[in-house]
Structure 1
């Protein structure tokens, strides 16, 4: 029985350390890649709405999101999920919407535009 308690404490400790490390890792990625200054506020708002709410993202903002890069995109979404304000959201759903938005924008930017 005592070994079960020790095991439980170790699991909780491991999970807690993992969350703290993830937070520091995301902050470090964001800082090192200068992620927060690569998109203007209107496009950040559009991307945020398409991921954390119901909304769409325009072609112009998709272009800026792709230029931002997948590493910055993922780190910013994960850091936002760590904010207590968003604790009621399902992380798996948000990550899925984040990937969906990224893939949509990547396909949009990679597809050749129709000729006039």
Structure 2
């Protein structure tokens, strides 16, 4: 049932069409593996929105390919990454 709910949220919020594939892969690597995210990707992900970010992470975790991942760790990493994005976007740019 959760899979259908997540699919509906993704569809209603156009989550699948708001972000370029390269940024999706960059964000995926940072959340599900080890990697960093560029400022451009960070901006794209924040524009995507928290609902889309959370739902796409949950939807990915429902995939049998990721059954061996620790769901609690991935969700915590996703939240931490999201908060880091917001801090980066909200921080003032250094003066030139």
Q: TM-score, normalised by structure 2?
A: 0.98
2:23 maps to 43
Matches within 5 A, 1:1-116: 20=1, 22-116=2-96
Structure 1 gaps of 5+ residues are: 1-19
Higher relative contact order (CA 8 A, sep 6+): 2
| Paired positions, count | 96
Runs of 4+ off more than 2 Å: none
Residue-by-residue CA offset, 1:64-93 (whole Å, 9 max, x unaligned) = 000000000000000000000000000000
- Alignment partners' CA distance in 2, 1:115 and 1:39: 29
- Alignment partners' CA distance in 1, 2:93 and 2:75: 29
RMSD: 0.6
Which structure has the bigger radius of gyration? 1
* Structure 1 residue 115: Cα displacement: 1.1
